[in-house]
Amino acid sequence: MDANGKVALVTGGASGMGQIYARRLAANGAKVAIFDVNQQGLDATEAESDNITAFHCDISSLEDVNTKVAQVEGQLGPVDVLVHAAALMPAYSLAEHSHEGMEQLFRINYFGTTYMVRAVLPSMQARGAGRIIAFGSIAGIALVPKMGAYCATKAAVNAYIEVLQNEIRGTGVRAHLVCPPAVNTPLVDQTINTDAPGSITESKEKGRLADPEKIINAIEKGVAKDKDIIYPSEAKLLYFWRALAPGLWWKTVMNFEK
C-alpha cells in the first residue's frame, strides 16, 4: 500500500499494534491521525513524528467519534485509510462477568468498529477510493474459557467486516478483516491482569505470544496481496483446528484450566 501523501486514521494508536502501524504509515509519508483514550501514550507517540497528530477519542461514543473524525478531515483532509485496532480484552468467566462490563466491551469492541467505519465510509464511497483495515480476532472463531464476552464481541466484528467487504466490493473502497492470535501487547496484559485463560497465561510466561512487529508485517503483506481476511502467524492453524476438531479444541484449552 502506497502511503505517501495519504491521510490515515489509526485507532488504538497510543500503544500496541495500532501504535506500530501508525509509526510505519508516518514513516512512509502518510499524514496519520491517531485515536486513543490514553493521553500519555498519545502525547508520546505524536512527539515521535511530524506526520502524527493525536486526538483523544472514546470510540464507544458515537458523538465523540463523529466529532473527532470531522476534526481530522478539517486538519488533515479526507481519510484515505482507516486502521481500526482499538479494543479492550479483559477476562472473566461468564458467570462472573458483570452485565455492565459486557455491555462496555460491546460498546468499545463492536460498536466502536461500526462507529469508526460509518464515520469514514461515506466520504470514501463518494470518492470511489479508500481502504479499511479492521482488527477482528481469531478469538471470535477459536473460542476460549474466561473470555466469552470478548470472543462474542470479536465474532460480531468478524461478521460485520466480512459482510461489509462484500457489500462494498467493486466500489473502489476495500475492507480487510485481520484475525490475529494472542499478541504480546498491552492489550493481552489486560487479560493477564484479570482472570486470564490458562492457555494465554502459559503462553505469556513461556514467551510464546506472537511478536507484534511480525504480526504487522503479515498484515501489510496480506493487504498488499489484497486479501479479504488476513490470518497472521498461527491464526490459520487455530482456525482449522477449531473448525475441524472442535471437541479436541475444547479438551485442549480446558486442560489449561486444571
Catalytic residue positions, numbered: 150
Other CB atoms within a 10 A radius of the CB of residue 208 amount to 14
Radius of gyration of the chain (CA): 18
What angle, rounded to 10 degrees, do the helices at 235-244 and 246-255 form? 120
Residue 49 vs residues 36, 53, 233: alpha-carbon distances, Å: 17, 9, 29
Residue 126 vs residues 121, 122, 129, 192: alpha-carbon distances, Å: 9, 6, 8, 43
C-alpha cell read off for 47: 512527539
Helix and strand numbers, DSSP H then E, in the chain: 11, 7
Residue 245 vs residues 233, 249, 251: alpha-carbon distances, Å: 20, 6, 10
